[in-house]
C-alpha cells in the first residue's frame, strides 16, 4: 500500500522547483522505466504486481510499493497509467567545449515546449547524437511531459544546461543554424561533425547566439517558392536537418 506522503511527493515533482529541491524526476511506463534502468538506478518504484514479478531483482534492490490499479491511477501523472511509476535522481553533469569535438551535437536556444524538447532528444538518439546542449531558458528535460516524450532516449543522450555563448566562444567546430535567409541545406556541403543550433518556436535563434553561426542553412519548401505554411515545427525541422547531416555521412 502506498502512502499519501509518497503520492504527494510524486505529484510535487511536476513542478520544477520541487525537482530541483529533491533532485529527482518522474518516469512512467515499462518502456521508459526499463530504458532508464539500463543506465541509472531508480530510488523508488510504485508498480502493479505483474510488473514487480517481471522485475523482481530490481524491485528487491530499490524502495518500492506494490500498488493496485486504483492506487496507481492516484499516483500517476498520466491520464492513462502504465504499470509503473519511478523516481530517478537527476544526473549531475559538467560540459566543456572539448567534449563536443569530433562529433555532431545539437544546441537548443530557448525551445520552450516540453513535448518538442522530448521529441528532439528522441531524434538525437535515433541519429546517434550523444550531446544536446540547452540554454537555461529552454524547457526542463525532467518535466514529466518532456521525459515521457523522449521514449527512453534520455538514457543514452546527455542533456546539458548552460550558457550557449560560453561554449560557442571556445570551440573551433563549424556552427550551423537554420534561417529563412539561409542557403539551401540540400545544396550546401555539410560537415560530419559540428554544432547544429535550433531556435525558439516563435523567434528562432537569438541574436547573441546567431553571432556565432558560421553556416546559415534553410530548409526549402516544395515546390520552391510556393505559398505554404509559414514555418516548420522545431522538432520536425530538427529531424530534417539531422537526417540530411547523417545522409551525407553514409
| Count of the separate structural domains present in the chain | 2
Cβ atoms of 203 and 110 closer than 8 Å? yes
Average pLDDT over residues 207-218: 97
Statement to judge: residues 74 and 111 lie in one domain: no
Nearest to 119 by CA among 154, 84, 94: 154
Do residues 149 and 220 both lie within one domain?
yes
| Confidence at 157, pLDDT banded by 50, 70, 90 | very high
Same domain as 104, residue 82: no
- pTM for this entry: 0.94
Segment 161-203, tens digit of pLDDT: 999 999 999 999 999 999 989 999 999 999 999 999 999 999 9
Among 28, 60, 89, which residue terminates a domain? 89
Residue 59: give its domain's CATH number: 3.30.1330.30
CATH code for position 170? 3.40.1280.10
Q: Choose one of 44, 69, 89: the last residue of a domain.
A: 89
Spell 226-239 as b/e; 16+ CB within 10 A means b. eeeeeeeebbebbb
pLDDT tens digit sequence for 52-62:
999 999 999 99
Say if residue 101 is in the same domain as residue 84.
no
Cβ neighbours, 10 Å, residue 52: 20
Helix (H, G, I), strand (E, B) or coil at 210: helix
- Note down the domain range covering 63: 4-89
Q: Which of 39, 55, 89 is the last residue of a domain?
A: 89
Amino acid at each position: 500500500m502506498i502512502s499519501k506522503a509518497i503520492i504527494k511527493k510524486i505529484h510535487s515533482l511536476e513542478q520544477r522547483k520541487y525537482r530541483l529541491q529533491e533532485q529527482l524526476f518522474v518516469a512512467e511506463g515499462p518502456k521508459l522505466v526499463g530504458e532508464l534502468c539500463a543506465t541509472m538506478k531508480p530510488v523508488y518504484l510504485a508498480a502493479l504486481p505483474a510488473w514487480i514479478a517481471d522485475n523482481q531483482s530490481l524491485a528487491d534492490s530499490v524502495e518500492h510499493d506494490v500498488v493496485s490499479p486504483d492506487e496507481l491511477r492516484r499516483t500517476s501523472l498520466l491520464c492513462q497509467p502504465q504499470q509503473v511509476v519511478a523516481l530517478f535522481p537527476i544526473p549531475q553533469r559538467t560540459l566543456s567545449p572539448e567534449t563536443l569535438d569530433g562529433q555532431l551535437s545539437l544546441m537548443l536556444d530557448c525551445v520552450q515546449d516540453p513535448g518538442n524538447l522530448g521529441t528532439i532528444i528522441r531524434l538525437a538518439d535515433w541519429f546517434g547524437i550523444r550531446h544536446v546542449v540547452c540554454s537555461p531558458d529552454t524547457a526542463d528535460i525532467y518535466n514529466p511531459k518532456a521525459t515521457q516524450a523522449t521514449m527512453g532516449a534520455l538514457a543514452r543522450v546527455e542533456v546539458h544546461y548552460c550558457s550557449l555563448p560560453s561554449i560557442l566562444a571556445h570551440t573551433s567546430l563549424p556552427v550551423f543554424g537554420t534561417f529563412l535567409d539561409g542557403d539551401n541545406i540540400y545544396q550546401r556541403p555539410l560537415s560530419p561533425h559540428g554544432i547544429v543550433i535550433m531556435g525558439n518556436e516563435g523567434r528562432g535563434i537569438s541574436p547573441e547566439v546567431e553571432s556565432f553561426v558560421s553556416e546559415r542553412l534553410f530548409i526549402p519548401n516544395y515546390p520552391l517558392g510556393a505559398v505554404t505554411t509559414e514555418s516548420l515545427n522545431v522538432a520536425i525541422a530538427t529531424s530534417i536537418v539531422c537526417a540530411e547531416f547523417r545522409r551525407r555521412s553514409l
